[in-house]
Amino acid sequence: MLKRLAQTAIRVVPLMRGRGAELVPVLRYHSLDETGSCISTPPSAFRAHLAFLARHGLRAVSLRDHALLDPDEAAATVVVTFDDGFQNNLDVALPALREHGGTATFYVVAGCVGAPPAWTQRDLAEAIPKGLDAIDDLERFLATAELDDAYVASHLPTLYSVGRERCLREYYELGRTRRFELMDWEGVRALHGSGMEVGSHTVDHRHLSDVDAGERRRQIADSKRILEEQVDAPVEAFCYPYGTIPDEAPDEVRSAGYTTATSCERGFHAPGRDPFRMARLEMEPIRDEADLAFWLLPQHRGLLDRVLPKR
C-alpha cells in the first residue's frame, strides 16, 4: 500500500514546488556503507537520492547555504546533514555532492577525529550491567548479556527498533572495525575546503542530559573552539548527540555562538520554530526514489511516526 502511494507521489512534479516557505526538509544521514547497519545508507542509495532531487530541480545544500538563499531559491533546495563524521562521508558523500553542485552540513565529534567511534563502547558499558566479561566471545556475549532497560529506552532506543541481537552485534562491531572509522583532521579540512559546512557534534558524543551544566557547556563550547582552530573558520552548526535536548541546552548553544542546532525529532523544520531545535528526516530506512518522494511530500509528514521504526 505504502509503495503504491509512493509510486503515485513520485509523479508529482515539480516535487517540492508550492510546499510553502514554512517547511524546510532537513535530511539526516550517518554512514554511507554496505553493512546494512541501523546507521547505514548504501552509497548507491545516496547517489540515487541526489540524482532524483536533481531531476526534479532540487539541490542539496548545507544549513549555512540554505540560510543565505532568498525564499524562491530556498524552495528549490533540500538541506542535507551527516552525523558523526565517518570517513565514508569524505570518500562517498563529497564526490557525489560535488557532482550535483550540492553542499551538506557534516557534524564532527571533535574529540574523536581519526579514530573508531569510541562512544559506542561507552554506551555498551552503561547499557549492559552484566555480560560484558564475555565481550571477546560474541556468541557467549549475545547469550549472556543483560540490558539495563531504562537506560536503553532513554539512550539507545535503536535497540528496540531493529531487534536486540542485531543491535548488540552492531554496537559490538562499531568500535572494533575500521569500516566505521572517523575522518582525520586532514579529511575534515578537505570537506571545509570543498565548500561543505563543518558543524559540531560535541567533544566526545556525550548525552547532554547525563552530564552536569559545566560539562554540558564544555561539550558545546570546546567542540566549537577545536573545530574552528582546525578549519580556520567559524563553526555555527550544532547537533545534539542522540537527539537529547536538556531544557537549558538551546540557550547554551546559542550563547556559545552557534546559529542552528538539529535534533532527532522527525519532521520538517518550520522557520518560525526554534532554530536550536530543528527537526529532521532520518534517511537510513529510505532505499529508493519512491520512498524519498513519499517522505518529501509535506502532506505525508504525519505518517512518519506511524511508519518508521520507533526510536
Backbone dihedral region of 195: left (phi > 0), alpha (psi from -120 to 50 degrees) or beta?
left
**Sign of the C-alpha dihedral, residues 202, 37, 30, 12?**
negative
The whole-angstrom separation of Cα 176 and Cα 242 is 21
Domains of the chain: 2-118+176-307 (3.20.20.370), 119-174 (no CATH)
DSSP letters, 58-95, are: -EEE-HHHHHTS-HHHHTTEEEEEEEE-BHHIIIIIHH
Specify the pLDDT at position 175. Answer: 61
Task: Give the whole-angstrom CA distance, residue 159 versus residue 55.
Answer: 36
φ, ψ of residue 173 in degrees (nearest 5): -80, -30
CA–CA dist 283, 265 (Å, integer): 13
Question: Which cell goes with 238?
Answer: 550544532
pLDDT value, residue 149: 77
pLDDT at residue 6 in the model: 46
Tell me, what's the pLDDT at 159? 65
The per-residue pLDDT for 119 is: 87
Whole-model pTM over 0.85: yes
Q: If you count them, how many residues does the chain have?
A: 311
In tens digits, the chain (311 residues) has pLDDT values of: 444 444 444 443 344 444 545 688 999 999 999 988 878 999 999 999 999 999 888 999 999 999 999 988 998 999 999 999 999 999 999 999 999 999 999 999 999 999 888 888 788 788 888 877 776 777 887 888 787 878 877 777 766 666 778 777 777 776 666 668 999 999 999 999 999 999 999 999 999 999 999 999 999 999 999 999 999 999 999 999 988 899 999 999 999 999 999 998 888 888 788 999 999 998 988 877 777 877 776 645 444 444 444 44
Tell me what pLDDT residue 160 has: 62
Say what the pLDDT of residue 250 is: 98
Q: What is the pLDDT of residue 239?
A: 98
